[in-house]
A and B are shown apart, each in its own frame.
Chain A
Amino acid sequence: DIQMTQSPSSVSASVGDRVTITCRASQGLSSWLAWFQQKPGKAPKLLIYGASSLQSGVPSRFSGSESGTYFTLTISSLQPEDFATYYCQQAKSFPWTFGQGTKVEIK
């Protein structure tokens, strides 16, 4: 199985801050990587697919990048509605697996 290691597990930030979350895959994913946002009591929402493609309707302050087995989700200017938990997910091979999540909290 492909292991996804996400860091940090939590981050405290202020509105307007730039936030970066990293996911490391245990093997190459060939861009088969997605990012999700989950707010308390709600279902996850797809933000990024193909490592760097923005899902329709998602604000452009969200972006994704890839370097080898390292993947990054960046929020360029944190907004109040962005406080949530973020997950990466690989779809290179079954079983599809998720990172353990990064909670973005208000500083």
Chain B
Amino acid sequence: EVQLVESGGGLVQPGGSLRLSCEASGFTFSSYWMSWVRQAPEMGLEWVANIKQDGSEINYLDSVKGRFTISRDNSKKSLYLQMNSLRAEDTALYYCAITTMATGTFDYWGQGTLVTVSS
């Protein structure tokens, strides 16, 4: 069974940092692109970043470029999102998702981890 379990969310002050993790199981993690997608409270979905199987290609949403860093460790079957210089508008539920670039889809999602940026 495919499982994606996010962790690392919490309450942080504006300007602070957090590192999100996503632990994968039930599929060959090293064979898939992976993405982070966020959803602000009672709002829609917003793609944040994605990373190729070997980490050699990475794409970011402009508003997080230079502040967020996506990475992965295939030996640990884990995806990460280092978030620095956090802003109130980064407050959201952050999902990791298996991504198929051939179809441009998020095939399977975790349950998310909540990030709240507030003083």
Contact = CB atoms under 8 A, between A and B. Distances in A.
A66 B102 CA distance: 19
Contact of A49 (B44, B103, B108, B111): B103
Interface string A7-21: 000000000000000
Contact of B46 (A42, A50, A53, A98): A98
A101 B39 CA distance: 12
A101 B47 contact: no
Contacts of A96: 47, 104
Nearest to A87: B45
Nearest to A41: B111
A44 B47 contact: no
B51 to A, nearest CB: 13
Interface in A58-91: 87, 89-91
Nearest to B64: A95
B107 interface: yes
Interface string B57-80: 001011000000000000000000
B32 interface: no
Nearest to A38: B45
A46 B105 contact: yes
Contacts of B105: 34, 46, 49, 89, 91
B14 interface: no
Given A95-B61, A98-B46, A50 B112 contact: no
Contacts of B110: 43
A20 to B, nearest CB: 20
Given A34-B104, A49-B105, A95-B62, A43 B111 contact: yes
Interface in B80-119: 95, 103-112
A3 interface: no
18 contacts: A32-B104, A43-B111, A44-B95, A44-B106, A44-B109, A46-B107, A49-B104, A49-B105, A50-B103, A53-B103, A55-B107, A87-B44, A91-B105, A94-B59, A95-B59, A95-B62, A96-B47, A101-B44
